[in-house]
Structure 1
């Protein structure tokens, strides 16, 4: 058993290589092998969002505060509100983030396949984010 006291691990700024705008991440768990679970709390400032990306074993997002949006390639933009849960299938190309004028916080949960949880791609352009 390993216990992490609340506030004992620092928040980290999400890399600008993979995110547009200001995004903060707080780790929940990165379970050692053979477990594969990875989870973190992600805080998006208004207008902030991920790049397009996929997950080899899928991803679950659970919104805890604010409002945001998500989109799978070729699909409509989905509005996200507190209490919403979104399942993204393995290999499904997508993005997610805050609304243009609102913060959004979600818990992101995914599993690692051969140590990898995500394949990052290009940024989401403004015309796709806010059509």
Structure 2
């Protein structure tokens, strides 16, 4: 499906900004076909905090806006402020703040070969020591 292919293609680009992109498919009563929407969420934020968009143009516009925010970075190696651990099946990696116990998860594939995670945001993430 074109919407899924768009979301998958954009995901790698969005990850450079520290964001996930996904697609939702739904049905509307009384209408034929499916309703498609896209969501964008900062990687350190929990599910339920994503922003939803009706069109690919809206997603592109939002990510262009996000790119203007300050870039914060989190060292993933040799950082005593966080622990990095993967699920037993290796699909998700958890970044846990050693001081607060707060954590966020990210697809392990999105961290492949990374020693630093970056997020473009108006304010720094609160889990870990971002600089």
TM-score norm. by structure 1 comes to 0.26
Q: Which structure is higher in helix share?
A: 2
Q: Which structure is higher in strand share?
A: 1
Which has the bigger relative contact order, CA under 8 A and spacing at least 6? 1
Structure possessing the higher radius of gyration over alpha carbons? 2
